[in-house]
Amino acid sequence: MRAAIGPVGHRYNVGFFASGTLPVKSQLRDLIDRAIAALREAGTLPADLATPDFVVERPKDRAHGDFSTNAAMLLAKPARTNPRALAQQLAGALPANDDIASVEIAGPGFLNFRLTPAAWLRQLRAVHGQGAAYGRNGSGGGRTAGVEYVSANPTGPLHVGHGRAGAIGDCIARVLEANGWNVRREFYYNDAGVQIENLARSVQARAKGLKPGDEGWPAEAYNGDYIQDVADAYLRGEAVEIEGQTITGKGDVGDLDAIRRFAVAYLRREQNADLEAFGVSFDVYFLESSLYTDGKVEETVRQLTANGYTYEKDGALWLRTTDFGDDKDRVMRKSDGTYTYFVPDVAYHLSKWERGYERAITELGADHHGSLARVKAGLQALGRGIPKDYPEYVLHQMVTVMRGGQEVKLSKRAGSYVTLRDLIDEVGRDATRWFLVARKPDSQLVFDIDLARSQSLDNPVYYVQLSHARICGLMRQLAERGLEFDLENGLSQEPDLGDQALRDLLIDISRYPEIVAAAGTSLEPHLIAAYLLELAQSFQTYYNDHQFLVDDRDQRDARLALALAVRQVLANGLGLLGVSAPERM
């Protein structure tokens, strides 16, 4: 049941889209806050009644209006009044606004808002006026956030799991920048420990002429063909340039330290090349080994001991992580004098805090979840004023690669897994990035190579890019036919909100700033991908029902102005995913 009460009162005559700086939901919320204050002042609501945490949302059924709020229902119980009656009073107290066409009372006390054609025109003006900045906001206030991702061991080619980490992490960084954060992208190289030792011995064995299965082949060796590539380069004295340093292969099969340095440099260079091909870059490369050489691990352990959170037991040094919510205390230093792997992680995240990262976001595979609580406990035990939720973790699940309905498990070169380079070579960078980021990180991902390669509307990235290219094509056809286009005239034509395809498209365009804000708050860039597909589908529906290059000048200008707004939003969103916006396909 809905009761229409028509336009709201006449206390303020302003428009939602006049400034174009805030999402419509935020501006509606401000009007509702003012109405609640007015009801308090009038004595309709108790003067000491707190404003509830009401929502302003878009109704699931667009027939119910453009926006809806539950404010009256949340206020009714503490105010001891009927929610529908209070909704009527709340609607009457709303400040007048030129962009609200009507307010309806629905169900048990929802307020449904409908916007005027002029409001939607101002929305289109905001898109055109802000251009590439449309959808961005300043909520981060220029504060610094460090985003760490990929952070692969330099022991082999990057696999598809690293690719998912790269896509998610890079897109989180882009989305945070769109929300006003100063973002530092960081790669943490695990260049110390047992795995690096296994790498060195694997390369040494290959350099000596051994192969997997031969007598004398190390039990924990890496068996991929790439190990032979590293060994050959070392033997012929190849020089590897990595971050301003040159590491040259000595050719001495007996010098394990030289082999180790060369192998790490060689594979870091290869990983960097793969990431560059993937459109992923970093501001900081942090070496785990530096935490030991700079004394940061020992310094961290000394501070934890001085703070009284460690104890000796069974010849090992333990951290009282249970004091900070962990299910049991954890060993820091083993009886053989070596540190467990979470200790350098504590020292590393302390360095982020010391480097001014107000937020530290770490993207990891879900298999790392067991160490998260102890790292946070260690940071709290340091007593440095680090927030309890520091760092913030984003965990991704595994990727299954399919081709022809069958799982693809092996790469000839890597030997035991599918590499990121394999995917890029198969389907291209854009499709690889889209498919790896388009699902929520904590969900299992099936990467269908056949779908990613297909040029069909079943392929979401193709669909979205085609919509952008199609609008570019419209503008080329305009020029080819010698027709004129006047954007200002197009933005002066009142839209027919009775045209459902047009109304749906206008609504979807206006949702973009909300999606960017939501993706930044939840660190979920897949929301951008899902939105772009919905926008492309709305445009396709409108495109199928309407001619653009018509003789009627006003109609032509209005439809092209709408199409160009869609193109702008598609380009902005694709940019946040690191996916290109092609002009031709």
pLDDT given for residue 20 in this prediction: 45
- Give the three-state DSSP class for 97: strand
Residue among 566, 561, 569, 568 nearest 121 (CA): 561
Phi, psi (rounded to 5 degrees) for 6: 75, -165
For the chain, give every domain's residue range: 2-114, 145-189+284-396, 194-277, 460-577
Tell me 363's DSSP state.
E
CATH code for the domain defined by 460-577:
1.10.730.10
Give 414's pLDDT tier (boundaries 50, 70, 90): low
For the cut 80, the answer to whether the pLDDT of residue 6 exceeds it is: no
Estimate the crossing angle of helix 526-545 against helix 553-577, to 10 degrees: 160
Out of 3.20.20.140, 3.90.230.10, 3.40.50.620, 2.20.25.90, the CATH code matching 145-189+284-396 is 3.40.50.620
Cβ-based neighbours of 313, under 8 Å, separated by 6 or more: none
Q: Give per-residue pLDDT as tens, 14-57.
A: 455 444 445 678 889 999 999 999 999 999 999 999 999 999 99
Q: Give per-residue pLDDT as tens, 151-206.
A: 999 999 999 999 999 999 999 999 999 999 999 999 998 887 788 999 999 999 99
Q: Give per-residue pLDDT as tens, 555-571.
A: 999 999 999 999 999 99
Estimate the crossing angle of helix 553-577 against helix 460-480, to 10 degrees: 140
For the cut 90, the answer to whether the pLDDT of residue 486 exceeds it is: yes
pLDDT given for residue 23 in this prediction: 65
Cβ-based neighbours of 468, under 8 Å, separated by 6 or more: 567, 570, 571, 574, 581, 582, 583
CATH code for the domain defined by 2-114:
3.30.1360.70
On the CB side of 354, how many CA atoms lie within 13 Å of its CA?
11
Q: What is the mean pLDDT of the chain?
A: 93
Nearest-5° Cα angle at 454, 451 to 457: 90
pLDDT given for residue 413 in this prediction: 65
Judge if 145-189+284-396 and 460-577 fold alike in CATH terms. Answer: no
For the cut 50, the answer to whether the pLDDT of residue 223 exceeds it is: yes
| pTM greater than 0.85 (yes/no) | yes
The answer to whether the beta carbons of residues 158 and 421 sit under 8 Å apart is yes
Q: Give per-residue pLDDT as tens, 229-282.
A: 999 999 999 999 998 899 999 999 999 999 999 999 999 999 999 999 999 999
Residue among 488, 496, 489, 487 nearest 554 (CA): 489
For the cut 80, the answer to whether the pLDDT of residue 515 exceeds it is: yes
Read off the pLDDT of each residue in 316-333 and give the average, rounded to a whole number. Answer: 94
For the chain, helix (H) and strand (E) counts, in that order, are: 20, 18
